Structure 1
Amino acid sequence: MKNATTHLVRSEQTSNTEAWSIQQIKQLQKSMIHTALEEMRDGRKSLQMKQEARDWILENNEAYPFSFVNCCECNGLNPYRLRWLLNKTLLGGLYD
């Protein structure tokens, strides 16, 4: 019985899955970049939120499709230049 239920659940999950368009993925990536930058800039955000955003921005792992580097490059942004600009504009910098 468990196998039948598992098979049914998997069938329902696959039939409800829609493929994302390249444009939708790019929009999600842009939103992730924007959100991370806002969390770093906004003085009302918690230290933990800022740290998570900072960690994501500084991560160089290109194996993840939604890494900062991949999100930038897929949207025509230079991640290293963006980090440099962010470091210049943040009080205390990005790399402390």
Structure 2
Amino acid sequence: MSFATQLMETTLIIAFVTLAFAQALCMVRLVIGPTTGDRILALDTMVINALGIVVLLGIHQGGRIYFEVSLLIAMLGFVSTVALARFMLRGDIIE
């Protein structure tokens, strides 16, 4: 195994651990968040962290499908955040 391959593997492992730790911290904020806004922000950040984990998994395994999945996760995360924010402000989602 070459030095560049070892460096890439080490970097990916560090990135996976960092994103998993960030995901755990967001889950703590989701559970103990004092306001609904904190919980919505924690969910949105969890979506972004999950997106990063999927992209890292795609880089690690070399699969193209993971990048398409990451686009779907990003779109669903954005729409759900907007829907939750609109529900919090107005009380309904569809006008």
Same fold (TM over 0.5): no
| TM-score normalized by the length of structure 2 | 0.38
